[in-house]
Structure 1
Amino acid sequence: MSDRKIKTVVVDDEPLARKGLRTRLERHTDVEVVAECQNGLDAVSVISKNRPDLVFLDIQMPGLNGFQVIHKLRELNQPIPMIVFVTAYDSYAIKAFDIHAVDYLLKPADDARLSDALKKVREYYSTQHQDEQSRKLVNLVAELTGDDCEEILRKLASGEEIETNPYPDVLAIKDGSEVTRVAVQDIQWIDAAGDYMCVHALDGMHIMRKTMKELEQELNPQWFVRVHRSAIANIRFVKKLVSHISGEYHLILQNDTELKVSRSHRDKVKAAMKM
């Protein structure tokens, strides 16, 4: 292994947990803690900016959990660093992630267990296997369902099967003799225009002949929510939900598109935005 230190980020919503882990890490001279994060959103920003070699990532966090942090980094085309999961769950449950993460730590982590984890980190680091580990981790996150992380771990602990995502990653939109493949994750919103659907994606608008109900059934409800009789929005592109004096609600997308939210869909929209 070279003399270059392992750039490390500690992510945990509990201040005492971050402090305790950092104190233990400081005893290892080849590890340099370059940042701490108290939530998943900060973690995405800090990891993208600092490009650390290693992240101690808490799984259970408000906002973005540990799995969602990895998914967001993937969406932003950011390299995935070596990951050591940190969790309060028992070893039986988290061992299912051994082949995807470098290692895991149970709270509160003791010195011996941390040393074992860092030994694995050094082995990955010195043999350049972190790329393989990152690929496996990304595959795991891509395969998980929309269940939150606690539910996933509960299923693992009880031996239940975790089903893969049944929703397509790509919509094939036919226009005459041409078929355009549109990445579902790039779709911002969809609205109806007579017998056609206007699919507004990052690369422009696409017209497809399908009913709103058919499209709604094809799209992952974790991300796509019906906001009106004739409109579906991708929550990942929503900037804010605005209420007017009249009692009407409107969604404002990141590109400043404004979508009216009907009364019958208001509660569902609020739930999707975790309000």
Structure 2
Amino acid sequence: MMPRILIVDDEAPARARLTTLLSDIAAECPHELVGEAAQAQQALDRIVELSPDIVLLDVQMPGMTGIELAAHLAQNDAAGPAIIFVTAYDEYALKAFEVHAFDYLLKPVRATRLADAIRRVGALKQNAGAQKKVIAEVANTMQVTRKNFSVQERGRLLLVPVIDVLYLKAEAKYVTLRTREREYLIEGSLSALEQEFAAQFIRVHRNALVARDAIVGVERGAQIVDAESDGDKTQESWQVILRHIDDRLPISRRQWAGVKALVR
């Protein structure tokens, strides 16, 4: 197997140095350099387009960091590229392995060290799932709080900032992300998202989470039948008023106390 390699670093000189280093080890460690990227969204596009086996990834990049990018790749594609971090910072090593990084190389990178990492990726790719087993032995599994949602749309993987999402609504097997401008669809569990983003979102109904900062008030909705009472008794219903959009989301009786406390 000749691994396909993508370089991701926001600094052009750093990408050039890695390119030269890869050229120096080409004879002893055959590989194919398929491309470069300077930031996270470009890297995601290149990964979808080029399907590299290995991504040589910097940690500190503007916008989305290398750690966050690796977390997105691990969540969205278990069979995706192996991540080898190449960085000048040693303090991110633990977090790197928490997001399933294959290796962590410190700059200036030695040629023998890089060649060894690439060869080991090639060996482990022969046995599906072996990489995850090795990683599990190296690090504990800890969730990294995401700053962006990954959305697959028309052959692209887009990043939607968490702070831009006004609400999350379950729709069959999908979850709708609603921003001020538009809606996006992702696959996932609303319960898992509630657990992950408990600090940012509050549940208002069994099928909806709303950004806490997006709630500007509540208002009365239509009268509804109280299914838990005898006869045809009705009760008042309430709905959330959201910043920037006209959408109204119903508040269930179970969630009313929490929402009311937040508004007050």
Alpha-carbon contact 2:239-2:249 (below 8 Å) kept: no
TM-score by length of 2: 0.54
Query: In 1, distance between residues paired with 2:134 and 2:210?
Result: 23
In the alignment, the residues of structure 2 paired with residue 43 and residue 96 of structure 1 have an alpha-carbon distance, to the nearest angstrom, of: 20
Q: Does 1:39 align with 2:50?
A: no
Once the 2 structures are TM-superposed, how far is the Cα of residue 122 of structure 1 from its aligned partner? 2.1
Amino acid at match of 2:10: D
Query: Aligned partners of 1:126, 1:52: CA distance in 2, in Å?
Result: 15
What is the deviation of 1:213?
A: 8.2
Aligned-pair Cα RMSD in Å: 4.5
Where structure 2 has 5 or more consecutive residues not aligned to the other structure, the ranges are 148-194, 220-237
Q: Secondary structure at the match of 1:20?
A: helix
Structure (1 or 2) with the greater helix fraction: 1
Detail structure 1 runs of 4+ shifted over 3 Å in the superposition. 71-80, 95-99, 133-136, 139-142, 168-174, 182-185, 189-193, 209-217
- Cα distance in structure 2, aligned partners of 1:118 and 1:198: 53
In the alignment, is residue 167 of structure 1 matched against residue 198 of structure 2? yes
Question: Where does residue 52 of structure 1 map in the other structure?
Answer: 52
Would the aligned equivalents of 2:4 and 2:31 in 1 still touch at CA under 8 Å?
A: yes
Which position in structure 1 is the counterpart of 2:181? none
How many equivalent pairs are there?
188
By how many angstroms is 1:34 displaced? 0.7
The equivalent residue for 2:169 is none
Q: What is the alpha-carbon distance in structure 2 between the residues aligned to residue 216 and residue 74 of structure 1?
A: 37
- Of all paired residues, the percent bearing the same amino acid is 26
Write the distance in 2 (CA, Å) between the matches of 1:12 and 1:216.
45
Provide Cα deviations, 1:48-71, integer angstroms capped at 9, x if missing partner. 222211101111001111122234
Indicate if the aligned counterparts of 1:84 and 1:102 stay in contact, CA closer than 8 A: yes
Larger RCO (CA under 8 A, 6+ residues apart):
2
**TM-score, normalised by the number of residues in structure 1:** 0.52
Partner of 1:256: none
The one-letter code of the counterpart of 2:118 is L
Residue 196 to residue 121, structure 1, CA distance change in 2 (3 Å): same
Structure 2: distance between partners of 1:134 and 1:216: 46
What is the Cα deviation at residue 129 of structure 1? 3.1
In 1, distance between residues paired with 2:20 and 2:260? 51
SS of the residue 1:45 aligns to: helix
SS at structure 2 position matched to 1:122 = helix
Between structure 1 and structure 2, the one with the greater Rg is: 2
